[in-house]
Structure 1
Amino acid sequence: MASTAARPPLPPRAPIVPPEDLESFQQHLNKSTRILALLGAGLSASSGLPTFRGAGGLWRTHEATQLATPEAFGRDPGLVWQFYSYRRHKALQAKPNPAHYALAELARKKDGFMTLSQNVDGLSPRAGHPASQLKLLHGSLFDVKCSDFFCKYTESANYTDPIVPALEIPTDESDPTTISALEARAELDISDENVALPELRISDLPRCPLCKKGLLRPGVVWFGEMLPTGVINDIEKWMSDSAKIDLIMVIGTSARVYPAAGYVDSARAKGARVAVVNMDRNDAPARGLYNGDWFFEGDAAKIVPEILKSVIGEITEMPDAAVEA
């Protein structure tokens, strides 16, 4: 006969954020009018995206500088497009997480909120983040532009997957050498010597519809390239405003590489307190944390909606732009 004794109550869950830190942060957030957010790959990791360089990252056997440079595209545009087509595919399989939606809602609630993202995965735009309050420092996987020097063709929010038929990713799971089979074994390295990527001709690759001569290339900032001038000018104009900056949130990035590190320093110089959200306490900004700053350790997808709740309320997911497309 089954026992009818009452089960002991479950112990209360530990709060996501220490209550005293949450209270002091929200008090400051509520009265802040000019807020800056700096986003990095840790935010996208919460959506299940593999990182570009880290352990288990995409194409582990290739150095990033072998693929993400203008010279690499000039030497072998087919290989570079295969790499970026795979990244586009993985980004489209991922979904914006609650932190993306929370930041988008904060932008709608606070006119003086500006977000600077180092991510190229398109998840912030897909979460409905207002474009006027989102600056993509490194471009986007879903923007394309002509590689011909004399052609200025660009296209935004191209979510076609694959962008041309020749870049379709094999999906035959009965073949143990295909990409999908490797993914099923959690081996996200599709440059494995056992995987035979198709040889691509120049005519197989996406061609510029304007000049008809140049190949289209991903609209991301490659190594050795300048950050987008328009984006940098917009940020500098916002930063140079005479008004003080109340708060900078550093989410999913160590912010130790310039220009990201410089934005933290500039915000501090204008009076900002710093709030860091990261999985690793060692990943604080280059100059460390000051008295009055906050470090929220853990998953950004859980922490960001919680700390912003006093302004944005409960999160309601918005339509996904990529799905709608």
Structure 2
Amino acid sequence: MGLEEARSRLKEARRVAVLTGAGISKPSGIPTFRDAEGLWKEFNPLDYATPEAYARNPERVWEWYAWRIARVREAKPNPAHLALVRLEEEVLGRGAAFLLVTQNVDGLHALAGSRNLVELHGNILRARCEACGHRFLLPDPFTPPPFCPLCGHRARPDVVWFGELLPEGAWEKAEKAFAEADVALVVGTSAEVEPAASLGRIAFTGGAYLIEVNPEPTPLTPLAHLSLRMGAVEGLQALGYGESGALPSASG
């Protein structure tokens, strides 16, 4: 009953907001951060993902990002990314509103074809000049550290590190979409990293029908009207946006 209602709500909603996390890119070969095989099990985020770490040793940080960038460039959008493109096309096609907010920095949503997209934590394939703030795509290949094509100053990864502010306007756009949503869909995120983790709660408080897709329970699970205990690909298939397959275990 819960799954059928979720499908119906998605088909009829006038405002749909989607949040994705690292779990949606795992089938593309990009590791997550917090699960048993996640990056933070092997690497300390304080050594690679803070302004202080970069100030102490920018060469070390850039070497780590160059390694990650190489993996991202080998990755392709998977069926879950494509499912959200289909969902967006369907929603926009009936004149409704749609916004996809991602915590991921891999650029795979845009590569898949998502249009109404907010990259809340930046994009690992870009750099940002430390002096003039100019953002630019990194060449392929590139030698770290890159330098700004406008002023020649050293550039840093264009991602949001722990302790930094989100890109200007990104949070406001995301918060508004989730506050006004009829249906909110949260896919592949641990719901532990703020402020993104609060978007599901904002939608629930605003009266949205809340759907969660994640293999493990999260802090958002108790609020979800439907919680699908599956990976992103299988969960979105079950919701009707991919090839048919076995239905997941659901709660809610």
- Call closer, same or farther: CA 1:89–1:268 in 2, change over 3 Å: same
The equivalent residue for 1:223 is 162
Structure 2 residue 213 is the aligned partner of structure 1 residue 271: no
- Measure the CA separation in 2 of the matches of 1:256 and 1:119: 14
Structure 2 residue 201 is the aligned partner of structure 1 residue 262: no
Deviation digits for residues 81-140 of structure 1, max 9, x if unmatched?
11001111111222111110111122222131111111111111111111xx11111111
**1:88 partner letter:** I
- Measure the CA separation in 2 of the matches of 1:61 and 1:298: 25
Among 87, 99, 102, the alignment partner of 1:117 is 102
Trace 1:226-237 onto structure 2 (pairs within 5 A).
226-237=165-176
- Call closer, same or farther: CA 1:74–1:40 in 2, change over 3 Å: same
- Measure the CA separation in 1 of the matches of 2:231 and 2:3: 15
RMSD after superposition: 2.2
Structure 2 residue 30 is the aligned partner of structure 1 residue 49: yes
Q: Secondary structure at the match of 2:140?
A: coil
The equivalent residue for 1:179 is none
Would the aligned equivalents of 2:213 and 2:230 in 1 still touch at CA under 8 Å? yes
- Measure the CA separation in 2 of the matches of 1:59 and 1:245: 33
What is the CA distance between 1:79 and its match in structure 2?
0.9
Would the aligned equivalents of 1:106 and 1:308 in 2 still touch at CA under 8 Å? no
What is the CA distance between 1:232 and its match in structure 2?
1.7
- Measure the CA separation in 2 of the matches of 1:277 and 1:53: 16
Among 147, 153, 162, the alignment partner of 1:207 is 147
Among 96, 119, 131, the alignment partner of 2:77 is 96
Would the aligned equivalents of 2:211 and 2:227 in 1 still touch at CA under 8 Å? yes
The equivalent residue for 1:174 is none
- Measure the CA separation in 2 of the matches of 1:209 and 1:144: 11
- Measure the CA separation in 2 of the matches of 1:35 and 1:141: 27
Structure 2 residue 115 is the aligned partner of structure 1 residue 136: no
**1:285 partner letter:** L
Unaligned runs of 5+ in 2: 245-252
Would the aligned equivalents of 2:188 and 2:232 in 1 still touch at CA under 8 Å? yes
Structure number with bigger Rg = 1
- Measure the CA separation in 2 of the matches of 1:254 and 1:68: 18
- Measure the CA separation in 2 of the matches of 1:60 and 1:238: 33
Deviation digits for residues 121-171 of structure 1, max 9, x if unmatched?
1111111111xx1111111101211012xx121114x4x33322xx5xxxx
- Measure the CA separation in 2 of the matches of 1:227 and 1:75: 22
Structure 2 residue 111 is the aligned partner of structure 1 residue 126: yes
Would the aligned equivalents of 1:85 and 1:162 in 2 still touch at CA under 8 Å? no
- Measure the CA separation in 1 of the matches of 2:30 and 2:167: 24
Would the aligned equivalents of 1:239 and 1:267 in 2 still touch at CA under 8 Å? yes
Structure 2 residue 26 is the aligned partner of structure 1 residue 26: no
Would the aligned equivalents of 2:21 and 2:187 in 1 still touch at CA under 8 Å? yes
Would the aligned equivalents of 1:41 and 1:119 in 2 still touch at CA under 8 Å? yes
- Measure the CA separation in 2 of the matches of 1:48 and 1:62: 18
- Call closer, same or farther: CA 1:236–1:285 in 2, change over 3 Å: closer
Structure 2 residue 228 is the aligned partner of structure 1 residue 289: no
- Measure the CA separation in 2 of the matches of 1:229 and 1:208: 21
Which structure carries more strand by proportion? 2
**2:142 partner letter:** I
- Call closer, same or farther: CA 1:238–1:278 in 2, change over 3 Å: closer
- Measure the CA separation in 2 of the matches of 1:38 and 1:239: 9
- Measure the CA separation in 2 of the matches of 1:117 and 1:53: 16
State the TM-score, normalized to the length of structure 1: 0.68
Would the aligned equivalents of 2:201 and 2:220 in 1 still touch at CA under 8 Å? no
Would the aligned equivalents of 1:53 and 1:64 in 2 still touch at CA under 8 Å? no
- Call closer, same or farther: CA 1:47–1:68 in 2, change over 3 Å: same
Q: Secondary structure at the match of 1:46?
A: helix
- Call closer, same or farther: CA 1:56–1:29 in 2, change over 3 Å: closer
- Measure the CA separation in 1 of the matches of 2:196 and 2:148: 33
- Call closer, same or farther: CA 1:285–1:155 in 2, change over 3 Å: same
- Measure the CA separation in 1 of the matches of 2:14 and 2:142: 41
Question: How much identity, in percent, do the aligned residues show?
Answer: 39
**1:114 partner letter:** L
Structure 2 residue 20 is the aligned partner of structure 1 residue 39: yes
State the TM-score, normalized to the length of structure 2: 0.86
Higher relative CO (CA 8 A, sep ≥ 6), structure 1 or 2? 1
- Call closer, same or farther: CA 1:283–1:107 in 2, change over 3 Å: same
Q: Secondary structure at the match of 1:260?
A: coil
What is the CA distance between 1:306 and its match in structure 2?
3.5
